[in-house]
Amino acid sequence: MAKLLFDWDYSSYPGAKKYPHLFKPIQIGNLIIPNRIKYAATEDNLNTREGFITDADVAYIRQRAKGVVGGICTMQGVYMDRNRQGQGYVGQAAAWDDKFIPGLRRLAEAIHAERAVAGYQLMHCGRVGAVEVQYCQGPSAVPQRLRIFRPVQEMTKQDIKQCVKEHVEAARRGLEAGFDIMEISGIVGYLISNFISSYTNRRTDEYGGDIRGRMRFVVEIIQEVKKLCGKDVPLGIRLCAEELLDDVRGNSPEESMETYKIAEEAGVDYISVTAGWQESIVPVISRDVPMGSWIHLAKRAKEHVKVPIQMAYRLFKPDLPNQAIGDGHLDMWEMCRPMIADPLMPKKVLEGREEDIRHCVACNLCLARLFRDAPMTCYINPVCAHESDPKYADPEPAEEKKKIMIVGGGPAGLECAYVAARRGHEVHLYEKRNELGGTLIEASKAPYGDDELFNCIRYQKTQCEKAGVTFHLGTEVTEEVIKEELPDSVVLATGPIYSKPKGIGLDRANVVNVLDVLSGKAKVGDKVVVWGNRKPGIGVALYLAKQGKKVTIVGKDKSAGFDVNPSFKWRYMIYLRQNGVTAYNDCDIEEIKEGEVMVKTYDGYRIPVKCDSVVMTEREANPGLKEVVQREGIELFVIGDALVPRNLSSAVHDGYRIGIRI
Amino acid sequence: MAFDAEREISRLWGNLHSAQDEIGRTYYRWRQAALKVAGPGFKPLDVSLKAAEVIGTEIGKSFLPRLNWLKGEEVWLMSLANSYAGQWINHGAVVKVEKGSQPFEAFIRWERCPWPTSAKEYGVPMEEDVLCCDKILQTILLDVNVFFNVNYKIETLKAIPRGQGVCLRRLYKA
């Protein structure tokens, strides 16, 4: 008899009518899950370096548990060995001793407190592990392609037996802590995937050879853990449907499907489909990969196995998984990054409040932080990883109600506006243009998925409207306006000013501004020099190169994309190359002439570059109105690019921080 | 300011050559330091071979992200041979790569190499230069072979320090 842990009735909710396939129950093993939603295990680096669970992690996971509205909420994968070779992240939770059980229990209880199903994951990080020790483990000592990872030591048969035992022991601790579902991680380059892949498993003993041999280690773990779990606790596994490692002789898709069948035979109750490894040179989850691109993998998995199939991977909007489930290509919708950006995302879908969802922009900053031993951060959600701090995550109403004038309707100003308004302030937002969005209006026109960035503005605008912010569109704030309105506080979110060094020919007609180019107001010739090698420069360079223009980027930073996080930057580097864009980094423009600019390297060499047009993208802080406000004795805040030109994330985070402080 | 291309290029060229010369000098200065630290109980050749091993391992690691199996083994092999050549070209050598007559065979020909000149400047025996080059070339292959699950070898057929005019190496599937 299948067991239902928490009874949920979705029938009265609009989301259940709109997305009927997402909010219907499913049986996994002997457990009934009320809906098709799962927060997939995600590292957050919020725990102690010894692997003990912290208040920050409990609060983080509880928010996500609330979000899944009765579905599965999985805690991050635990490492299981005392030697810490399985540990891939400095703040990863540990489960190699009973002393970790109380912390794990706190997580299970937090998930249950939100009436969600508590998932527990076993994760030995294999060749991407050993973050705190010198050597990591693998089936064979295949050298690392990425230098950030530790050298690999080949596991002996004794090591393998020990590792299986550690999985079982760690699973027991998870059960004692109160988790309802057990999951094994076998993805992206972690130990189990290392055993499965022909790229990393060169063993000639019974743990190597053909795909059945390479699956033997996995099968032993599944069988032993399954024995422990019994009938009542479902056991699942995350496996690669495509490794995307053809360049290093990894598994074929057919072999990967074979692993699914073997895992099913071994006794798993569900399979979570993934694609790619951390070492893959194929993009999988970044913004340049269209949403829904990987659904065919779930469909393929369904054709090979009978157990329920789950998948995340660029399913950022509910219509995609709803359709896929309805079509029989998928059984459960997993999410990591969409619920990092908005932990309550599925709850809002259920309640028919999709306009309140803060959408992930697939920038992968969260991953970049984890790989660099930093706590989780979200580009677009300032509250992420601060859930345990009520002063930050859920600020109290303002003690003194103020009349606040926010100058600038870009992401910084909008974020600040609704946060301050929610706290009870009277907020007036002034924007000189007739529409909201600031420089993001133009920036979101850059290719390779940048249109998704504008979702941020849609969200913020809705929140401002709901919080009662008064918009003054088409109104340029001047000294007179400030004197007339006499607000208690002024927040300058006016965006940057574009650099115009004198005496080098910038007054020529062929010099145009990046915003004018992206908005189509300015025309450029066939040979274009883009001045500035940060994100705005890269965006406009790709925009123009896609139109067939010959583009050269000239910028002062040593490499292009200094302000783009490393987990996304590599994509831009490839696109620049593919589109034939030349980049002179560590360089500046010395002079702009008719048909040519003179580029000067950092050490004084000069290179003439032929061009018809120069696009200015270099930015500076915007001091406008600062003196006026200070002279009037009004409280002043400067945020976003007006303070220091940076990126969208800094604008949003600046806006939030001032919004809760003002 | 008028742009004088000849002046810019000659300055750049001069600086490139100085930097290339410094690579050789820096290596041999470190060799002297290592020999002093090692003391009289160690043969200079042994110390140099150990250095060659470390260098080869490091270069081998840097080859891994550049090599790609997707276009087949012959393309992969030529790309490996070109990676070898590129390494020495950066130091100022003139190196050419040719496909061999046998399958999975390539020849790498050093028509000019700065390393024997640097070795001479620091009084190092010419044979040590050949043996160290061999060691570097072979050590590079260790990681490459394991990583791509192949078995390639490289052998020296001719060497400039031996007075044979060119260095010629055969890279082949064993």
pLDDT along chain A (662 residues), means of 10: 94 98 98 98 96 98 98 98 97 98 98 98 97 97 91 98 98 98 96 98 97 98 98 97 96 97 98 95 92 97 98 96 98 98 98 98 92 94 97 95 98 98 98 97 96 97 98 97 96 94 82 96 96 96 97 96 89 95 96 93 93 95 94 96 96 98 95
Are A146 and B146 within 8 A, CB to CB? Answer: no
Q: Compute φ and ψ for A548, nearest 5 degrees.
A: 90, 10
A517 shares a domain with A489: no
Tell me the three-class secondary structure of A538-558, residue by residue: HHHHHHHHCCCCEEEEECCCC
Which residues of A are less than 8 Å from B64 in CB distance? 143-145
Contact A124, A81 (CB under 8 A): yes
Distances A86 to A46, A125, A370 between C-alpha atoms, Å: 17, 5, 16
Residue A263 placed within a domain: yes
Which residues of B are less than 8 Å from A243 in CB distance? none
Contacts of B71 (CB under 8 A, 6+ apart): none
What pLDDT shows up at residue A447? 95
A580 shares a domain with A448: no
Q: What are A555-606's pLDDT values in tens digits? A: 999 999 999 988 889 999 999 999 999 999 999 999 998 899 999 999 999 9
What pLDDT shows up at residue A506? 80
Which residues share a beta bridge with B167? B110
Which residues share a beta bridge with A3? A31
CATH of the domain at A119: 3.20.20.70
Domain residues for A641?
A: 396-496+621-661
Amino acid type, A648 = L
A520 shares a domain with A441: no
A313 shares a domain with A182: yes
Query: Alpha-carbon distance A91 to A79, whole Å?
Result: 11
Which residues of A are less than 8 Å from B69 in CB distance? 246-249
Are B148 and A249 within 8 A, CB to CB? Answer: yes
Query: Alpha-carbon distance A172 to A106, whole Å?
Result: 16
Contacts of A55 (CB under 8 A, 6+ apart): A388
Q: What are A110-123's pLDDT values in tens digits? A: 999 999 999 999 99
Q: Could you tell me the two tokens for A647? A: 């990126």
Contact B128, B119 (CB under 8 A): yes
Query: Alpha-carbon distance B39 to A386, whole Å?
Result: 58
Are A249 and B69 within 8 A, CB to CB? Answer: yes
Q: How far is A88 from chain B (nearest CA, A)?
A: 21
A347 shares a domain with A419: no
A448: DSSP letter: T
Mean pLDDT of all residues in B41-53: 97
Which residues of B are less than 8 Å from A202 in CB distance? 146, 149
| Chain B interface test: which of A127, A140, A145 (most B C-beta within 10 Å) | A145
Q: What are B79-115's pLDDT values in tens digits? A: 999 999 999 999 999 999 999 999 999 999 999 999 9
pLDDT band of residue B1 (cuts 50, 70, 90) is low
CATH of the domain at A596: 3.50.50.60
Helix (H) or strand (E) holding A84: none
Q: What are B105-117's pLDDT values in tens digits? A: 999 999 999 999 9
Determine the number of helices (DSSP H) and then strands (DSSP E) in chain B: 5, 4
What pLDDT shows up at residue A23? 98
Q: Count other Cβ atoms within 10 Å, centred on residue B15.
A: 12
A554 shares a domain with A590: yes
Residue A384 placed within a domain: no
Residue A13 placed within a domain: no
A336, A371, A406 — which closes off a domain? A371
SS3 at position B33: helix
Burial A313-331 (b: 16+ CB within 10 A, else e): bbbbbbebbbebbeeebbb
Are A605 and B70 within 8 A, CB to CB? Answer: no
Of the partner residues B5, B61, B68, the one whose CB lies closest to the CB of residue A247: B68
Q: How far is A294 from chain B (nearest CA, A)?
A: 21
Are B149 and A249 within 8 A, CB to CB? Answer: yes
CATH of the domain at A433: 3.40.50.720
Contact A549, A528 (CB under 8 A): yes
Average pLDDT, chain A: 96
Q: Exposure of A7 by Cβ count < 10 A (0-12 exposed, 13-18 middle, 19+ buried)?
A: exposed
Of the partner residues A145, A281, A606, the one whose CB lies closest to the CB of residue B8: A606
Q: How far is B50 from chain A (nearest CA, A)?
A: 20
Strands laid side by side in the A26-28 sheet: A3-4, A31-33, A26-28
Q: Exposure of B72 by Cβ count < 10 A (0-12 exposed, 13-18 middle, 19+ buried)?
A: exposed
Query: Alpha-carbon distance A372 to B130, whole Å?
Result: 42
Angle, CA of A492, A493 and A496, to the nearest 5°: 110
Mean pLDDT of all residues in B136-165: 97
Q: Which CATH class is domain B5-173?
A: alpha beta
Q: Does residue B22 register a pLDDT over 80?
A: yes
A339 shares a domain with A482: no
SS3 at position A494: coil
Query: Alpha-carbon distance A409 to A432, whole Å?
Result: 8
Residue A545 placed within a domain: yes
| Chain A interface test: which of B58, B149, B151 (most A C-beta within 10 Å) | B149
Are A248 and B147 within 8 A, CB to CB? Answer: yes
Name the residue of chain A whose CA is nearest to B70's CA.
A247
**What is the residue extent of each domain of chain B?**
5-173
A360 shares a domain with A226: yes
Helices A101-113/A157-177 angle, 10° precision = 50
pLDDT above 70 covers a percentage of chain A that reads 100
Query: Alpha-carbon distance B23 to B115, whole Å?
Result: 9
Q: Could you tell me the two tokens for A409? A: 């309707």
SS3 at position A233: coil
| Chain A interface test: which of B64, B75, B80, B139 (most A C-beta within 10 Å) | B64
A248 shares a domain with A317: yes
A152 shares a domain with A62: yes
Q: Is the dihedral of CA A520, A521, A527, A529 positive or negative?
A: negative
| Chain A interface test: which of B75, B148, B150, B151 (most A C-beta within 10 Å) | B148
Residue A563 placed within a domain: yes
A258 shares a domain with A195: yes
Which residues of A are less than 8 Å from B1 in CB distance? 590-591, 598
SS3 percent helix, strand, coil of chain B, rounded to 5, is: 60, 15, 20
A314, A337, A371 — which closes off a domain? A371
Are A145 and B147 within 8 A, CB to CB? Answer: yes
What pLDDT shows up at residue A559? 93
Of the partner residues A142, A598, A605, the one whose CB lies closest to the CB of residue B12: A605
How many domains does chain A fold into? 3
A344 shares a domain with A242: yes
Contact A35, A42 (CB under 8 A): no
